[in-house]
Amino acid sequence: MSSDHGIRYELDGHVARVTIDRPKVMNAVDRAAHLELRQVWAQIENDPDVRVVVLTGAGDRSFCVGADVSAAGVDKTGMEY
């Protein structure tokens, strides 16, 4: 499953793979990606067949730099976010 918010979810047998796919912003998580991740985690937690979760980031520069405080509408510092 792929989303427009930069989150990919794949299930292969008992292994769930979650990929933050926003390499242009070093996989920073904006509000939309955060909400999508919450939905994915809920899906994983409710699936008794999932035994392993691999969390990864797309691209080769970083796994995830954290919150995308440069996203439109965010007027908080990183600590406040």
27-40 per-position pLDDT tens digit:
999 989 999 999 99
What is the rounded CA–CA span in Å between residue 35 and residue 51?
23
Q: What is the CA radius of gyration of the chain?
A: 13
Does residue 62 belong to any structural domain of this protein? no
Rounded to an integer, what distance in angstroms lies between the CA atom of residue 44 and that of residue 79? 28
Our measurement of the distance from residue 32's CA atom to the centroid of its chain's CA atoms, rounded to an integer in Å, reads: 10
Whether 46 is covered by a domain: the verdict is yes
Other residues' Cβ atoms within 10 Å of the Cβ of residue 18: 19
**Sheet-wide strand order for 15-20:** 7-12, 15-20, 52-57
Number of folded domains that form the chain: 1
The model carries a pTM of: 0.82
Q: What is the pLDDT of residue 2?
A: 53
Q: Tens digit of pLDDT for each residue in 47-59?
A: 999 999 999 999 9
Domain range for 38 = 7-57
